[in-house]
């Protein structure tokens, strides 16, 4: 099946930032586009704004003058819903209120032809519920664009409970014909991106609430160690704390207050105080003119150890052994069945974050997971209050000798990157098991929708099938609220590995 014919007009109802962006995408793809807004004059203002953006594309050499003129000729603001009668697709981008959207589509159903595809751009409401009052809900689908729609490639094509396969396929092919990268998903709270991305924010906030590290340090570790483009605090300041918290709260409520999606009290207080991020001038950070951005905690210079003993390999951190040798530090490798760690000259141990805490052991320093230990510019360490100062100094000096800045954080299980990635992997496996989307579409959605360095299943393959399960299982033992309980899907995934290896 192909997408919407180019001769078929596309209507966009709601002419805010998102509506204008969607209209521009359809317009540049070659469709006649009609703009409608319930507020008088808004559609004409939006048409003018879109025309100005087309002018900027010409100035940047991304659009020819002839194509701009043709696009402008295809753009028509209208004053009445009745003017959308011959459209082949209507995309709604109005207020995120169920009653408003249901009323709008009820009116549209009386106007458009039976083969007209109706689509909502909702990011937080149930597609099934929005289309639930229609006489013909089979033609109703979610087309969730990301802001700014002309620039971001991802479109989540969401099938409601009553959506026909042909309608979903038609919407999918239309998005692809518009130059977008569509992913198909079922109608679940948060769809793909807003469901699976929750731990990226939630775990950073949880580490902060536990007084283990400040926002600047957590952000720096997520960027410089985890490979994420932005940290959770700076990203939510950009999104808007009220917007981000609203999505989190909506997903949490929609999952019947599932502990895995519990909102952050610290973020709630931030919103209540009016500190909404960049748009209000202050959020986690101060954006006033002349305000200084806080620096992440970085440890003072320490001497590296003369040697390390590697017991049992380092699993996902095995690359460190080559880096340590390249730094001129002797490495002696010993096979051990009871763990994977580095033993320092002090007798203390350096262990990859595994969901446990330093306080449970004698003289253990944990180090965080990295996307790539060779290119990482910062590594986080955690230690208990009674950890030997010499052991912590040797661990710090070791990573400094590898060219890394070191941030020492509080003794929290899973540290920062490890717990975040483990939870993202878990939610991804859970989503596939419940028929939300395929592994490939989830990886695509998380890379393109929120710019993750790897999709969850790419992380999983790199880390090993049981890494995420082991981290979360240990964390669940220390916080039995259910927040970190591994899903049944992740349990099966890890257990299947054991069966193939002949263990029980």
Catalytic site positions: 123, 144, 156, 194
Query: How many secondary structure helices (H) and strands (E) does the chain include?
Result: 19, 15
Torsion of CA 367, 372, 374, 380, to 10 degrees: -20
d(CA 442, CA 455): 7
DSSP 8-state class, residue 266: H
**Angle CA 356–359–360, to nearest 5:** 60
**Sheet of strand 307-311: strand arrangement:** 330-334, 307-311, 341-343, 349-352, 364-367, 378-383, 405-409
Does residue 104 sit in helix, strand or coil?
helix
Inter-residue contact 366 to 314 (CB < 8 Å): no
Query: Cis bond leading into 208, ω under 30°?
Result: no
Inter-residue contact 351 to 341 (CB < 8 Å): yes
d(CA 491, CA 485): 10
Question: Which among 113, 141, 122 has a CA at the least distance from the CA of 9?
Answer: 113
CB environment 422-457: b (16+ within 10 A), e (fewer): bbbbbbbbbbbeeebbebebbbbbbbbbbebebbbb
Inter-residue contact 23 to 34 (CB < 8 Å): no
d(CA 393, CA 470): 28
Torsion of CA 475, 409, 411, 401, to 10 degrees: 100
Could you give the count of Cα atoms lying within 13 Å of 311 in the half-sphere of its Cβ? 14
H or E, element range at 341: strand 341-343
DSSP 8-state class, residue 9: -
Residues in CB range of 66: below 8 A, 6 or more apart: none
Residues in CB range of 421: below 8 A, 6 or more apart: 226, 369, 459, 463, 468
Inter-residue contact 373 to 319 (CB < 8 Å): yes
The tokens 């090993």 sit on which residue? 464
Residues in CB range of 133: below 8 A, 6 or more apart: 102, 105, 106
């Amino acid at each position: 099946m192909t997408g919407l014919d180019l001769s078929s007009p596309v209507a966009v109802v709601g002419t805010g930032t998102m509506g204008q962006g969607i209209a521009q995408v359809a317009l540049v793809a070659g469709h006649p586009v009609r703009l409608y807004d319930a507020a008088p004059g808004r559609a004409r203002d939006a048409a003018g704004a879109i025309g100005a953006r087309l002018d900027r594309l010409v100035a940047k050499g991304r659009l020819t003058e002839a194509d701009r003129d043709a696009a402008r000729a295809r753009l028509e603001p209208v004053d009445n819903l009745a003017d959308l009668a011959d459209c082949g697709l209507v995309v709604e981008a109005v207020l995120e209120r169920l009653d408003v959207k249901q009323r709008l589509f009820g009116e549209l159903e009386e106007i458009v032809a039976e083969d007209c595809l109706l689509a909502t751009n909702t990011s937080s409401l149930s597609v099934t519920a929005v289309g639930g009052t229609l006489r013909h809900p089979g033609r109703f689908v979610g087309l969730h664009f990301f802001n700014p729609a002309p620039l971001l490639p991802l479109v989540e094509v969401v099938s409601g409970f009553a959506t026909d396969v042909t309608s979903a396929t038609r919407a999918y092919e239309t998005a692809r014909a518009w130059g977008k990268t569509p992913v198909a998903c079922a109608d679940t709270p948060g769809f793909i991106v807003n469901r699976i991305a929750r731990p990226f924010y939630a775990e950073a906030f949880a580490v902060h609430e536990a007084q283990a590290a400040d926002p600047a340090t957590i952000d720096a570790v997520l960027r410089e160690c985890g490979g994420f483009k932005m940290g959770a605090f700076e990203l939510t300041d950009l999104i808007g704390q009220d917007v981000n918290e609203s999505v989190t709260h909506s997903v949490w409520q929609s999952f019947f207050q599932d502990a895995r999606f519990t909102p952050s009290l610290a973020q709630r207080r931030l919103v209540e105080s009016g500190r909404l991020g960049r748009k209000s001038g202050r959020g986690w950070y101060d954006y006033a003119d002349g305000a200084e951005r806080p620096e992440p905690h970085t440890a003072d210079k320490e001497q590296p150890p003369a040697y390390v003993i590697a017991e049992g390999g380092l699993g996902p951190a095995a690359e460190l052994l080559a880096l340590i040798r390249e730094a001129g530090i002797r490495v002696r490798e010993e096979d051990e069945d009871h763990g994977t760690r580095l033993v320092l000259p002090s007798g203390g141990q350096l262990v990859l974050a595994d969901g446990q805490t330093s306080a449970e052991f004698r003289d253990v320093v944990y180090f965080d997971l990295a996307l790539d230990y060779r290119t990482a510019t910062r590594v986080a360490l955690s230690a208990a209050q009674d950890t030997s100062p010499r052991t912590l100094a040797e661990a710090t000096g070791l990573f400094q000798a590898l060219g890394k800045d070191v941030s020492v954080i509080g003794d929290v299980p899973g540290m920062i990157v490890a717990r975040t990635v483990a939870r993202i992997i878990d939610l991804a496996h859970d989503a596939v098991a419940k028929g939300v989307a395929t592994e490939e579409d989830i990886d695509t959605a998380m890379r393109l929708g929120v710019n993750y360095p790897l999709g969850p299943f790419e992380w999983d393959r790199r880390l090993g099938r049981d890494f995420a399960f082991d981290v979360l299982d240990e964390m669940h033992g220390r916080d039995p609220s259910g927040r970190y309980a591994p899903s049944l899907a992740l349990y099966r995934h890890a257990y299947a590995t054991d069966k193939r290896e002949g263990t029980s």
